[in-house]
Chain A
Amino acid sequence: MNRDSYLIPRRSFLRGVGAALALPSLEIMSPALSYGNSAAPKNLRLCVLFKGAGVNPNSWDINGATETEFTLSKLLSPLEKNKKDIVILRNIDADQRANGGHQSVTLTFMTGNVRKSRLVQRQSFDQVIADHVGGATPVKSLQLRSDTYLDANDPSENFLSFGADGRALPVEHNPEVVFNRLFKGFNNSGFRKRTTSVLDEVKESYQSIVRKASDRDRQVLEHYLQSVRDVERELDQFNNREDAARDSRMKRIQPVAAASDLAQRTRAMLDLIALAYWTDMTRVSTLMMAHTETRSTYDFIGINDELHSLSHFVRTRNRSSGLSGYDKINHWYVQQFSYFLEKLKSLDDDEGSVFDNSIVLFGSGIKHGDYHSVSDLPLVLSGGGGGQILPGRYVKYPNTPNGNLLLKLMDMMGVKKEQYGNSTGLLPGISEKANLAPKYVDDGSWKILKDEGGKLLVKGMLKISVKADDLNLYLVHLSGGEILELRTGFGTIHNLRIDACVGSVVELEGEYKVTDGRKVITKVKRCKRL
């Protein structure tokens, strides 16, 4: 790796000895002693990049494409150079009970379940994997966030990873702390040397104090020396377990400086994950790039409104940066995703690149930013998966629970499970071509089934209008090319989960008015996905 590629201005990093002595936490040190006990596939890594607050479906969705022939949408366009590295997933649905709210969408994304209680959840899938492969690396898993927003009213939204006991795992937001944990611990021979010399000083100081202490005080002070000896013993164990490859890579890593805004922090976290994978410090990580209710603003790309309020774009369309701001932010996030993929590709692994041996999932827990629909989640899978991912594809599944995807990711990471969360089976079409026939074929039955003077029952393909200035317009496509407009209030769309049916053939019952000779549906009583 190029030494200078590790970005970030270095000037604010204190180069004094004091700073150079930052120490790791014990959890980092102990598991390293049990090296090589795992039966996981060789060196595979998993990374979940969670970007909350959904998308504008019109800007995200790809239309009129086949599995291998597709044109990237506006929001996905930053992935142009990664087109051969990704699998775009459609119609993966979270548990419908989560529809419409915030509270569960982070959890459904990671556990395939709606939440159990405020504080106790199902073990998230990344942690199931970490339990399996984490013993092979010094750090079991990394839980990070680059978005500093935390929600006080619903703590469970603040976390992606939940341990086996159902409790949220602590999330680190300071890149410097992460850096110190990863690269300045006992795995670093330079660090070991410095620690040894500090301990020598401590011992000397201790001896001169103990000589003057009372008998009783000496007994207590003894613990201090004991503690020093414990550390020395651990140091010895590490000294005898050199990992030459890791050591040489460690030497090439430059310190990280304080990140002052979300952009810097996001880059720093992505870099840290990549470097942690490169040095095989950990194989599982999650990064909260945007909290689903985040109040963060993005002034570095000229957006000074909060992402969460922008995401409610139907209702806040008059906001200064409005829908375009929302799209810009999501576009920026996809750029970061692309940056991360490139970074992984630039790092050499034992065989191939780190990218080749990684699985990266990028996505959000909701689809429509305003309606919070949980069908057809925005998801992109990438990484070589050690040959288990067939990239360069766009897969439009029949509606499938996201548990099936999580089950597949666990399966690729070596965790064989029958069932997880809302899963109904292993998601096909990841390691091999999906070859799915289109689910909906216009068989001529898409038409108005009943029409009783203003009231109708209609069957057709539901689509959303692509006009940015007319955000609440849905369209029902009928056989023969006729299109009915659907214009109804926010409440109806929300309550009947109409947005979740976009892309499906629906049976819809409601009332219409005739405008300019065209029927416009204005009230909906029932909307059922077929």
Chain B
Amino acid sequence: MKPSGYMILMLLSATGFALGEAGIGPVREVIESRCLGCHDSDTSKGGIDLEQLLSARELKAAKTAALWQKVDKVVGAGEMPPKKKKPLNTEQKAQVGGWYKSFYVLKDGREHIGRSLLRRLSRYELINTLEDLLHVSLRQPYVYSPEFPAFLPSTLETILPPDAPGESGFYNDAEQLAGTRPPILKYSEAFDYALRVFSQDAEAREKIFGFKGVSPGLREAEAGRILQRFMERAWRGYRNPESEEVVLRAYRDTRRKEAPVASLLHAMKTGLLSPAFVYRIEMVMDKATPYPAGAHELACRLSYFLWASMPDAELFALAADGRLLDATVLAAQVDRMLKSPRRISLSEDFAGQWLGFGELWTNKAFYRNERWSRGIYDELLFFFDELIKSDRSILEIVDSDWIYQSDYTGVRTAGKGHSFAAKHGDILGSRSENPPGIQEQFYKPPRLIRIKSDQRGGLITTVGILRVTSAPEKTNPIRRGVWLLDRIIGRPMHAPENVPALSESEKVDGKKLTDLADILKAHTSKAVCVSCHKHIDPLGLGLENFDPFGKWRTSYRNKRPVRSRGVFPSGETFETPGRMKQVLLGEYREPIVKNIAGRMFAYALGRKLEPHDRPALRRICDTLGQDGFKINTLIAAIAGSRQFLCRQDQP
């Protein structure tokens, strides 16, 4: 065994686990003696070849790092060696974990936050930002009306191409947005449209220009001041005299031929097309270790995390004199921002993508009719927002004794009207103008009710989630099980390669598989299936009482009874979805909390989590556990993490 160069560094490290004497040496011994029996290059059980891993030279290479991460994870969780083999002792476990931590989590023995990424605005953020910047509404009114049926996107959504989610699972993923070419022409068209709406709105114009009407006598100095103010807001505190001069000159050039207002509009467009608007450019100190981000940077990070939009006047003011850098002020701002209707972005953008219910709105396959679709979407939206508004436990996502119920879903759960806090009227009006009266006439938003039900409660058993996890006409317990494992428990499953689908494969035990339960039973009798399906099937089966449209059923269309009985890998059994959710919360509480916290952390940072984020995530989860898993504690803990507060310019 040859010590590598990296190991020398590790030996010098001052903090972290006890590393043992020789870096990877003890780990190598553990793996050679306990793992290679199954995972050498010849056997490679489950496709895992640890012999090759031990000989890998580039330890930072993505593939190698990912495999080490897996080793660390299964060893740490006690999943490997498998049950029938002798487990690793505490020291051996610590050696594997300690080496991984010192090499992949820490940098020079210290925690760090990885390189900060330049973030381009996602489409959702761009539209919000234009609305807030120009003081206009650019969305479809949030009302039901025959004039605004489903799938009619706003003009800006027609112009701007949709984003693709990145590895973080979200549209605001910095790497993904950086890797996609910015659609300059579409931006230009979108800004034209937004500025046109703005120019036709006297109130909005007065807010930015300071005058109504055409102002033919506008002096150049005054126009300059208007544009300076505009750029400060549009570029969110980013200063660059040369870029500013480009905008001012655009005004002067246009002014020779055009009226003052038209010239201002042209200069504004030039400002919007500048990278300073489209990207969130942060001031850089070029340091290899984390250092506090500036006040303007922090204001932006906060506003895009909590509002998916630009900072408001108060945040700008606190950034201007640096007060925002004070931890108490920051905490108070988080609190204030979560009270603002703009927090709806956390439900729309974060939860909508995480739980996939945003698709109810964008994917025609889930469509039934306008009110139904809006109803099931709003049940989820309002539920998630209620968590924030009333600062409730994130575990209520799994089960709760309250729900939001819409009149249009075809599903009615008995319950009493209820109110934790105020009504949701503020949300309906948050991002758009809401013509009074229309909403009540055509569409009643879902109501908050207290329920006592073994069938409903939490987000998992809402019509919307049951719909997005179904095929068009029938339920798919595998899909539902995989969804729960991935989205709720945080264990993404991938369709097995080279394993034929059971329904198409040979008969099992001489019996042809016809019944769903038979197929699922076969999963547990075939070794190739069981390692994953022992986790998937019970979860999916537990939801079989819900049809593809979320309605309760006790038999299938062919009159066969629904069997939603299941056994968890631990041996716990259940016969109702309510009981299943309880077992879920009992057995999977830790991964559920970690998953939710991790998802939100990734959304806040605009990137997927890396090994170096692990200590921070653990602290966030600890804080959360000490405060009853309250969601606003989670949000505040994320906003208070070094990842969120600091910059680092090298990996």
Interface string of B182-214 (1 = CB under 8 A from A): 111110110111011001100000000000000
Assign chain A's interface to a size class.
Answer: 35 or more
CB distance from A248 to the nearest CB of B (A): 23
Assign chain B's interface to a size class.
Answer: 35 or more
Question: Which B residues are in CB contact (< 8 Å) with A15?
Answer: 262
Asked if A221 and B263 make an inter-chain contact with CB atoms under 8 angstroms apart, the answer reads no
B270 in the interface (beta carbon within 8 A)? yes
Question: B374 — nearest CB in chain A belongs to which residue?
Answer: A152
19 A–B contacts from the bound complex (CB under 8 Å): A14-B199, A16-B263, A17-B266, A21-B192, A22-B193, A23-B185, A23-B189, A25-B186, A149-B146, A150-B152, A152-B146, A155-B364, A205-B270, A205-B273, A209-B274, A221-B279, A224-B278, A228-B184, A295-B146
Question: Which B residues are in CB contact (< 8 Å) with A224?
Answer: 182, 184, 275, 278-279
Q: Which 7 A-B pairs have the closest CB atoms?
A: A16-B262, A208-B242, A152-B370, A18-B265, A23-B189, A17-B266, A205-B274
Please measure, in the bound complex, the distance between the C-alpha atom of A310 and the C-alpha atom of B298, giving whole angstroms.
61
CB distance from B495 to the nearest CB of A (A): 25
A530 in the interface (beta carbon within 8 A)? no
Asked if A16 and B118 make an inter-chain contact with CB atoms under 8 angstroms apart, the answer reads no
Question: A228 — nearest CB in chain B belongs to which residue?
Answer: B184
Question: Which B residues are in CB contact (< 8 Å) with A201?
Answer: 246, 250, 270, 273
With contacts A152-B149, A216-B118, A216-B649 known, is A18 near B262, CB below 8 A? yes
Interface string of A1-45 (1 = CB under 8 A from B): 000000000000011111101111110000000000000000000
Asked if B184 and A209 make an inter-chain contact with CB atoms under 8 angstroms apart, the answer reads no
Please measure, in the bound complex, the distance between the C-alpha atom of A153 and the C-alpha atom of B261, giving whole angstroms.
45
Please measure, in the bound complex, the distance between the C-alpha atom of A231 and the C-alpha atom of B184, giving whole angstroms.
8
CB distance from B363 to the nearest CB of A (A): 11
B465 in the interface (beta carbon within 8 A)? no
Interface string of B139-156 (1 = CB under 8 A from A): 000000011011110010
Please measure, in the bound complex, the distance between the C-alpha atom of A195 and the C-alpha atom of B158, giving whole angstroms.
21
Interface string of B247-277 (1 = CB under 8 A from A): 1001000100011011101101110011110
Asked if B262 and A205 make an inter-chain contact with CB atoms under 8 angstroms apart, the answer reads no
CB distance from A118 to the nearest CB of B (A): 8
Question: Which B residues are in CB contact (< 8 Å) with A418?
Answer: none
Question: Which B residues are in CB contact (< 8 Å) with A153?
Answer: 369-370
A202 in the interface (beta carbon within 8 A)? yes
Asked if B240 and A209 make an inter-chain contact with CB atoms under 8 angstroms apart, the answer reads yes
Asked if B118 and A223 make an inter-chain contact with CB atoms under 8 angstroms apart, the answer reads no
Asked if A18 and B243 make an inter-chain contact with CB atoms under 8 angstroms apart, the answer reads no
Please measure, in the bound complex, the distance between the C-alpha atom of A22 and the C-alpha atom of B284, giving whole angstroms.
35
B367 in the interface (beta carbon within 8 A)? yes
Interface string of A170-210 (1 = CB under 8 A from B): 00001001001000000000000001001101101110111
B448 in the interface (beta carbon within 8 A)? no
Mostly helix, strand, loop or mixed at chain A's interface?
helix
Question: Which A residues are in CB contact (< 8 Å) with B380?
Answer: none
Task: Specify which of A204, A209, A223 is in contact with B182 (CB 8 Å cutoff).
Answer: A223
Task: Specify which of A195, A204, A209, A223 is in contact with B281 (CB 8 Å cutoff).
Answer: A209
Please measure, in the bound complex, the distance between the C-alpha atom of A9 and the C-alpha atom of B6, giving whole angstroms.
75
CB distance from A48 to the nearest CB of B (A): 22
A432 in the interface (beta carbon within 8 A)? no
Asked if B155 and A18 make an inter-chain contact with CB atoms under 8 angstroms apart, the answer reads no
Question: Which B residues are in CB contact (< 8 Å) with A205?
Answer: 243, 246-247, 270, 273-276
Question: Which B residues are in CB contact (< 8 Å) with A202?
Answer: 184, 270, 273-274
Question: Which A residues are in CB contact (< 8 Å) with B28?
Answer: none
Asked if B178 and A208 make an inter-chain contact with CB atoms under 8 angstroms apart, the answer reads no
Question: Which B residues are in CB contact (< 8 Å) with A199?
Answer: 184
Please measure, in the bound complex, the distance between the C-alpha atom of A221 and the C-alpha atom of B119, giving whole angstroms.
10
A525 in the interface (beta carbon within 8 A)? no
Asked if A16 and B258 make an inter-chain contact with CB atoms under 8 angstroms apart, the answer reads yes
CB distance from B324 to the nearest CB of A (A): 23
Question: B250 — nearest CB in chain A belongs to which residue?
Answer: A201
Asked if B246 and A217 make an inter-chain contact with CB atoms under 8 angstroms apart, the answer reads no
Mostly helix, strand, loop or mixed at chain B's interface?
helix
Asked if B118 and A221 make an inter-chain contact with CB atoms under 8 angstroms apart, the answer reads yes
A220 in the interface (beta carbon within 8 A)? yes
Please measure, in the bound complex, the distance between the C-alpha atom of A211 and the C-alpha atom of B286, giving whole angstroms.
14
Asked if A206 and B275 make an inter-chain contact with CB atoms under 8 angstroms apart, the answer reads yes
Asked if B273 and A227 make an inter-chain contact with CB atoms under 8 angstroms apart, the answer reads no
A213 in the interface (beta carbon within 8 A)? yes
With contacts A22-B189, A201-B250 known, is A213 near B184, CB below 8 A? no
- Apart from A23-B185, A216-B117, 17 more pairs, CB < 8 Å: A16-B259, A18-B262, A18-B268, A18-B269, A21-B269, A22-B192, A119-B365, A152-B149, A152-B369, A153-B370, A198-B188, A202-B270, A214-B286, A223-B178, A223-B180, A224-B182, A231-B185
B479 in the interface (beta carbon within 8 A)? no
Asked if A17 and B258 make an inter-chain contact with CB atoms under 8 angstroms apart, the answer reads yes
Asked if B181 and A223 make an inter-chain contact with CB atoms under 8 angstroms apart, the answer reads yes
From A199, A209, A210, name the one whose CB has the most chain B CB atoms within 10 angstroms: A209
Asked if B364 and A18 make an inter-chain contact with CB atoms under 8 angstroms apart, the answer reads no
Question: Which B residues are in CB contact (< 8 Å) with A213?
Answer: 118, 281, 284
A212 in the interface (beta carbon within 8 A)? yes
B565 in the interface (beta carbon within 8 A)? no
With contacts A149-B146, A205-B273, A226-B181 known, is A220 near B118, CB below 8 A? yes
With contacts A16-B266, A152-B369, A224-B278 known, is A208 near B185, CB below 8 A? no
From A19, A22, A149, A201, name the one whose CB has the most chain B CB atoms within 10 angstroms: A201
Asked if A209 and B266 make an inter-chain contact with CB atoms under 8 angstroms apart, the answer reads no
Question: Which A residues are in CB contact (< 8 Å) with B199?
Answer: 14, 16, 18
Please measure, in the bound complex, the distance between the C-alpha atom of A14 and the C-alpha atom of B189, giving whole angstroms.
15
B521 in the interface (beta carbon within 8 A)? no
B642 in the interface (beta carbon within 8 A)? no
Question: Which A residues are in CB contact (< 8 Å) with B117?
Answer: 216, 220
CB distance from A146 to the nearest CB of B (A): 14
CB distance from B257 to the nearest CB of A (A): 9
Question: Which B residues are in CB contact (< 8 Å) with A231?
Answer: 184-185
Please measure, in the bound complex, the distance between the C-alpha atom of A148 and the C-alpha atom of B159, giving whole angstroms.
19
Question: Which B residues are in CB contact (< 8 Å) with A295?
Answer: 146
Task: Specify which of B146, B274, B276 is in contact with A150 (CB 8 Å cutoff).
Answer: B146
Interface string of A360-374 (1 = CB under 8 A from B): 000000000000000
Asked if A208 and B243 make an inter-chain contact with CB atoms under 8 angstroms apart, the answer reads yes
Please measure, in the bound complex, the distance between the C-alpha atom of A205 and the C-alpha atom of B199, giving whole angstroms.
24
From A152, A198, A201, A227, name the one whose CB has the most chain B CB atoms within 10 angstroms: A152
Question: Which A residues are in CB contact (< 8 Å) with B284?
Answer: 213-214, 217
Interface string of B107-149 (1 = CB under 8 A from A): 0000000010110100000000000000000000000001101
